[in-house]
Chains A and B, each alone.
Chain A
């Protein structure tokens, strides 16, 4: 039951992060918040007994993808028009 509630809490957190990713005008904030979605997904995969996928999601989604987006924003424009 506790696990179920934790999963629901994580899903709601991910949903809020997804909404903020779209809503932010500052793209740097969007990228950081979208990293939170990956973090929540990674925890969720772990609770659903898929530690393999959780490891990949944590390393790729939270680390490398965020970094590549940050570099791309530095190369282009930070503010959304």
Chain B
């Protein structure tokens, strides 16, 4: 009986999903293609076209995705940063509460499962390279694909690799927390300067816009993304570390 109900629900779900997406071709370029379906092309074009055509004039950033995330949808980015901050804080609170209860259990199983010398040496060599790659991704967020969130997660995964290969690898929690809070505060204050002075949250041309397609371009976008990169990187590293301490 249960299986029949599950199959029926799955069939209904499949039917509606198929009906929703059957007009879209998989991986299709809607902006430049001549689609037969007029409804879809009218629906998608206006906002996307505006971003593509006016991006160079308004934001001077060669990566359009970045200028959408930071400039056109800057307020959404504030929401994302807040959500991540709340999630990390909540996880930290829950994990520290549970840690106090079974503190003596953890000391017994800390020495088991030490990785081999090859893993240790390889991760010691790879760690700075991955770290620099993450920094590159968020510093060049306005020029190449990627940005603050991506760079931050890459840095966090570099730390994750170190945690996995060295069981006694420790990070200073207070430094990470202060980096996180300071970068969050700077992000909000940069946004508020634009909001109070000019009526636009995250106004980008507070500083000179620079030359298109160079490192010093796009106004505040690189600075905002460096801040977001620091914030996300330290946040996720702290999350992973507080998880690891409860093994």
From B145, B147, B156, B247, give the contact of A59 (CB < 8 A).
Answer: B156
Name the B residues within 8 Å of A75 (CB-CB): 246-247
> A56 with B149: in contact, given A64-B160, A68-B243 (CB under 8 Å)?
yes
Q: Is the CB of A52 within 8 A of B244?
A: no
**Of B27, B153, B164, B240, which one neighbours A56 at CB under 8 angstroms?**
B153
Type the 1/0 row for A59-81, where 1 means its CB is closer than 8 Å to any CB of B: 11001100110010011000000
Report if A67-B146 is in contact (Cβ < 8 Å); known contacts: A48-B27, A56-B153.
no
Interface residues of A in 20-74 (CB under 8 A from B): 47-48, 51-52, 55-56, 59-60, 63-64, 67-68, 71, 74
- How many B residues face the partner with a CB closer than 8 A? 21
Contacting residues, chain A, for B149 (C-beta < 8 A): 56
Across-interface contacts of B247 in A (CB, < 8 A): 71, 74-75
Query: Hey, which chain B residues are within 8 Å of A47, CB to CB?
Result: 27
Residues of A within 8 A of B244 (CB): 71
- Complex Cα gap A59–B243 (Å): 17
Q: How many A-B residue pairs have CB under 8 A?
A: 48
Interface on chain A toward B: helix, strand, loop, or mixed SS?
Answer: helix
Tell me the bound Cα distance from A71 to B109 in angstroms.
14
Shortest Cβ gap from A75 to chain B (Å): 7
* CA of A74 to CA of B153, assembled, Å: 23
Interface residues of A, Cβ cutoff 8 Å to B: 7, 47-48, 51-52, 55-56, 59-60, 63-64, 67-68, 71, 74-75
Task: Spell out B's residues near A (CB within 8 Å).
Answer: 26-27, 65, 137, 145-147, 149-150, 153-154, 156-157, 160, 164, 236, 240, 243-244, 246-247
